[in-house]
Amino acid sequence: MTDDLFRPTLSREDDRHGFQNPWNPANLMWTALFGGVLASGILILFNDKRLGLPSRARWLAPVILVIWVATIVLAVNMTGFETNDSDLNRSLGRNYRIIIRVVSLVVAWVMLIPQRRRFTIFATGEQEAASLWKPALGAILASWAVNFLVMMAVRSFTA
């Protein structure tokens, strides 16, 4: 009979090398809530490098862009985007924001799974996690601006 207590849980990928002052993945969920898929996806890509997981960037960047575009298309179609509305805010209302936030949180939660394990290893050391305030605020504002421009383009093409 084998005892799970004596079975190692760490693998060769779980070394303490390659850390470059990473952000806490739990805090990146706030970026997903307020900034959407684009803002959180970009910061998750940067945090991958900071946690020593750079190999995911090749396939994760296109996946983030596809999910972002699909989320906007889904939200626009589900909220009944009408071209005869005189007020843009009416068609970009509450339902649109809820759809964007739910999809963003689910996508960020899935993308952060590998980061949580690496950050746990980082947290056992003596260093502290980097502050996420400035990068998150910049990513959120940039994401809002890009989303606004995309929605204005959608409105002008459907008019």
* Residue 40 confidence class, pLDDT cut points 50, 70, 90: very high
Structure tokens at 64: 């983030």
Q: Which of 36, 159, 149, 151 is nearest to 103 (CA)?
A: 36
How high is the pLDDT of residue 151? 78
- Which tens digits make up the pLDDT trace of 44-78? 999 988 888 877 878 888 999 999 888 888 777 76
How high is the pLDDT of residue 11? 55
Q: At what angle do helices 57-78 and 133-158 cross, to 10 degrees?
A: 50
User: By the 8 A CB rule, do 50 and 130 touch?
Assistant: yes
Structure tokens at 141: 């504002």
pTM of the model: 0.79
User: By the 8 A CB rule, do 138 and 33 touch?
Assistant: no
Ordered by start, the domain boundaries in the chain are 24-119+131-158
- Which tens digits make up the pLDDT trace of 108-147? 999 999 899 889 888 887 888 889 999 999 999 999 999 8
